[in-house]
Amino acid sequence: MAATVLLLIGLLLPYLKLTAAQTRPIGVCYGRVANNLPSDQEVVNLYHSNGITKMRIYDPNEPTLQALRGSNIELMLGVPNGDLQALSDPSAASSWVQNNILAFTPDVKFRYVAVGNEISPSDEAASFVLPAMQNIYNAIASANLQAQIKVSTAIQTSLLGNSYPPSAGSFADNANSYIGPIVQFLKQTGAPLLANIYPYFSYIGDTKDIRLDYALFTSQGTPVQDGSLGYQNLFDASLDALYSALEKAGAPDVEVVVSETGWPSEGGDAATVDNANTYYKNMINHVSAGTPKRPGKVIETYLFAMFDENQKGPAETERHFGLFSPNKQPKYKLDN
């Protein structure tokens, strides 16, 4: 098995390690739900040594922020779901921005604040997302940084009530009262919608109707024809369904940043090193091409995740999304 893994894990680093002229809009999420990860400074060094210029973190962890000082790595900073209620108070949000953003500016290159991650309209925290976003935005604007740092929230594609065909994409009726005002806020402030898009989970949830090659960017021909637009992969179809939903919500100019996407290397159906290898290689090659709905429009994308995280769960696959093992060895060493 070990020999097979070493033989197959040959794809990723040359795609991430790019010259300035070749830079693709790719970042990597740095999750820390593990007890065996390198130090934050080692992690930042690993980003640098592999030419990774964008990072997403899920909370304002001070050692991470300190390690990022002077690194020139663009940062998407997360507000944990458990903090949303407190940050619906303007003074608390102002203090949060002061302590976690302004205290590190300009040494840390903040790009986005993700206010909550994958909040469902039925979650208790749902009513606090927009007030927290507004308060954090106002605190950032008070420091005149609103053009540099955009405030958004990261959603799941399950907020879509319809996603097939992509042109019929629309937010679910029970999600409209939640996501509609958020979308209008993004429109007013010029911020993108952050979306976690996982063809892997769509595939394992519907293997009868979704082909593996369609999820892995390897399908021949055009499995989905949507009017004049042809879709060769599920990622594009999912992203364009979101764009269709934004249009129907009155926000056709709001961009989508893919705040997470990935494929596990073990632990469940279709979770193999070979499939993960294929997905990451094809994803990284694809993002500069845009989607059928927005051809040529580069897709800013964050791969999930930097490391295997041994304390994630409950599904075993959740522990195997890393591009690197905790010992900093690459799982995918692509030579192309």
Which entry of 255, 260, 300, 318 is annotated as an active-site residue? Answer: 260
Distance CA 259, CA 196 (A): 5
The residues, ordered by sequence, that sit 6+ positions from 76 with a Cβ below 8 Å of its Cβ are 27, 54, 55, 56, 57, 111, 112, 113, 114, 194, 259, 302
Count of other CB atoms within 10 angstroms of residue 83: 20
Distance CA 324, CA 334 (A): 13
- Amino acid, single-letter form, for residue 316: E
- Is 309 designated active site? no
Distance CA 140, CA 130 (A): 15
Could you tell me the two tokens for 249?
């919500």
Contact 24/288 with Cβ under 8 angstroms?
Answer: yes
Distance CA 307, CA 196 (A): 17
Distance CA 299, CA 25 (A): 7
- Is 260 designated active site? yes
DSSP class of 301: E
Could you tell me the two tokens for 8?
């197959």
**CA atoms lying within 13 Å on the CB side of residue 162:** 12
Which entry of 42, 62, 74, 118 is annotated as an active-site residue? Answer: 118
Give the residue numbers annotated as catalytic, written as ranges.
118, 260
